[in-house]
Amino acid sequence: MNLADLNKVANAMVAPGRGILAADESSGTIKKRFDPIGVESTEDSRRDYRELLFRSNKAMSENISGVILYDETFWQKAKDGTPLVKLIEQAGSIPGIKVDEGTQALPGCPGELITVGLDKLAERLKKYYEHGARFAKWRGVIDIGKGIPSYTAVRTNAHALARYAALCQAAQIVPIVEPEVLMDGDHDIDRCYEVTEFVLKETFQELYYQKVALEGMILKPNMAISGKKAAKRASVQEVAEKTIRMLKNTTPSAVPGIAFLSGGQSDEEATAHLDAMNRIGGLPWKLTFSYGRALQAAPQKAWSGKSENVPAAQAAFEHRARMNGLASKGEWKADLEGKKAA
């Protein structure tokens, strides 16, 4: 493991004004995104859509530091035969790969999940590295509900995340460590804080046990936020203050950066929360975005599967990327939302 090189990549992933595009939706998930816009999910339609994002030169070169890809996309070529990974590199962005293989029911823990995909991961990482991947992602999923999460679910998912991270670093790939506490449910922000704090403490404990070098990783957590069905939603400022307090209590300063997941927040909500945190300032790590839906919902709607809509879709993507780029520096303003990218 060359830690200096891993650290260089990790720092580039959280460079000021830039963040990560999560374009790693599985075939099942992308179908759910395409259905409402009336697009059939085929290998070609998925390729066409992702190609339009990666060819959005302004967004990719100015605001997107890296792209998380799904295995199918990683090996795909653009319409003109250029590998999509090369398109990302040419735009000055870093190609990454989602390596987990989804979730399964966790035995003995009703309603809880464990992420799978560690088998043969070392061999897979070697192939991804040879074809240009410089970072990877693995997502653990923790739900909040009656009597859950259990310690079993938290501990087994933390252990798997650390196993994955250690294998990545051995393959000279920066691991994005993503322990996601879901915002589904009617819990309040304090319950989310309590569970997420515990999950992060357990995750860093496991990373330590498994000799993962913190300088060569990126954390992708959820924010401390009210559940979607909560009677009372926390304000932007409360989310920002509690999330920072939670991270200061759990995340060592050796970690170069934290790239938040959007987790079902609206586009503007995800941007406003990130901006409010960066305005607080005085933080030991960079705070940026690793958004999927919060970057893609607008371009998907604008595109709707029609080639003539590609410029409008790219403009929508560039706008969201720019807004989040500003938020990563604490320079976003709500009144900028009316002004689409010129």
Which residues are designated catalytic? 178, 220
Q: What is the CA radius of gyration of the chain?
A: 19
End-to-end CA distance of the chain: 44
Give the whole-angstrom CA distance, residue 153 versus residue 157: 6
Q: How far is CA 217 from the centre of its chain?
A: 13
Q: Quote the tokens at residue 341.
A: 């990218």
| 8 A C-beta contact, residue 224 and residue 189 | yes
| 8 A C-beta contact, residue 94 and residue 136 | no
